[in-house]
Structure 1
Amino acid sequence: MQLRTNLPGSRRLEFLHNAAIRTGVYTGICLSLVFTAWLVIANQVPFLERFAFERNVAAAGVFVFLAAVPVLRFLRWPGNLLAASMIAWMIFSVVYRILCLIYHGLGDWHSAFQVFMVGAVSYMMFTTLSWIAAIVRRARAEIAHPNRRAS
C-alpha cells in the first residue's frame, strides 16, 4: 500500500514529475554551473593560466557531455527531446546573459541571443533526426506487420 502525503508547498514542484521538464531543468542548471565555474576559474585563478589549454579542453568536454544528456535520454522521443533541450538551453542562455553583465567582454564575444540560437539550432537538428528515425521505425514496423492496426 502506497501512502501519499500532501506536504505544504509540494504542489509547486509538481511540474517536475514530467521527465522532459525535469531533465531540461537539471541539465540547464548543470550547464550553467559548469560554464560559470569555467569562467570564474579562467578569470579569477591566475596560477592555472599555464594550464589554460587543458582547462578549456576539460571544461568543454564536460559541457558537451552535459549538453548531450537530453539527446541521449530522449533519442527515441522527439517531442520530449525538444522540450528538454529547449528548457535546458533557455536556462543556460539566461545565466549566460547574467554573466555578460558581470564579465563585460563575454557579451562582446557572443551575445546571449546568439548563444541561444546556436544551441537551439543544434538541438533542433538532433530533434529532426530523431523524428525522422521515429518515422522510419514506424514505417518498418508497419511493413513488417501489415495486418496490425496502427495506434
Structure 2
Amino acid sequence: EQLDARIARAYWFFLFHQVPDLPETLVAGNERAWLRHFFSDWCYDPNAISGDAFEAYVRAYEAPGAVRGAMADYRANAEDVAQDKVDADIPISVPTLALWGAEFYAVGKMFDMEAVWNGMASDVRTHAIERAGHLPHEEQPERVNALLLDFLEGWKG
C-alpha cells in the first residue's frame, strides 16, 4: 500500500518474480547462482547457508516445477492482499508469534515490525532476531527454536 522508490529497490525481487514465465526461464540451469545471490544478500552472514545446507536448497530448486512453485507464491500476492483487505480491521485473535531478522534491510531495518504486528493481532509476541537477515531460522536456529518452544509451551493437548 505504500510502495515508493525506496521500498521498490528493496523489494525488486518480489516484483520481478511475479512476471509470468521470465524468472523460470532465467533461473533454469542457474539455480545455484540465483540461490547464492539471495542467500548472500538476505543473510546477516553472507556465508550462513553453505556446504550441505546450500546443496540441499540447490537440489530442491533444481527439481522439476520447484522454481515455478516458488514463483506462484509471489504471483498470488494480488489475491492475498485482496483477501487481507476484507477483514483488515479485525485483529488476529489467536496467540501469534512474529519473528523476523533484525538485520534484514527489507524488513527489520525498513519497518517497525513490532508496531506492524501489534496493529494486526491482539495477542502477539514479537521478536527481532539479532544477527539474522531474512532467514533467521537458518542463521539463528537455536534462538528461533527456543522462542517457538516457549511460545508453544502449554499447548499440549
Q: Same fold (TM over 0.5)?
A: no
Per the shorter chain, which TM-score range? under 0.3
Q: Whose Rg is larger?
A: 1
Choose between structure 1 and 2: higher strand proportion: 2
TM-score (norm 1): 0.25
Q: Larger relative contact order (C-alpha < 8 A, sep ≥ 6)?
A: 1
TM-score (norm 2): 0.24
